């Protein structure tokens, strides 16, 4: 059985254990990515301004404000996936 302590020698070995190990690594990395983006979303909520509370008109927003809106959307999307 392939575990974290006993990884496969070559990924090209087509055995079910290797597929399970690769799936395990994918899930583990995906979990870590989600945790990272959730933490980043909390930090963004504390630091970055909320333009919806200020009722900002997107047509009149500056490039910097649009960049902040885009960043917050990107982080929120990745935190929810």
Q: How many CB atoms lie within 10 A of CB 21?
A: 19
pLDDT, residue 27, reads 75
- Taking the C-alpha atoms of residue 37 and residue 42, their distance in angstroms, rounded to an integer, is 9
Mean pLDDT by 10 residues, the chain (81 residues): 57 62 74 87 88 84 91 90 69
pLDDT, residue 63, reads 94
pLDDT, residue 74, reads 92
Two tokens, residue 44? 């963004």
pLDDT, residue 15, reads 60
Four-CA torsion 22, 24, 28, 31, nearest 10 degrees? 110
CB neighbours of 6 closer than 8 A, spacing ≥ 6? Answer: none
């Amino acid at each position: 059985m392939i575990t974290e302590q006993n990884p496969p020698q070559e990924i090209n070995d087509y055995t079910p254990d290797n597929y399970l190990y690769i799936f395990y690594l994918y899930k583990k990395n995906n979990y870590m990515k989600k945790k990272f983006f959730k933490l980043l979303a909390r930090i963004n909520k504390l630091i970055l301004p909320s333009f919806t509370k200020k009722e900002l008109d997107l047509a009149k927003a500056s490039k910097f404000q649009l960049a902040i809106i885009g960043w917050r959307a990107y982080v929120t999307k990745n935190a929810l996936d």
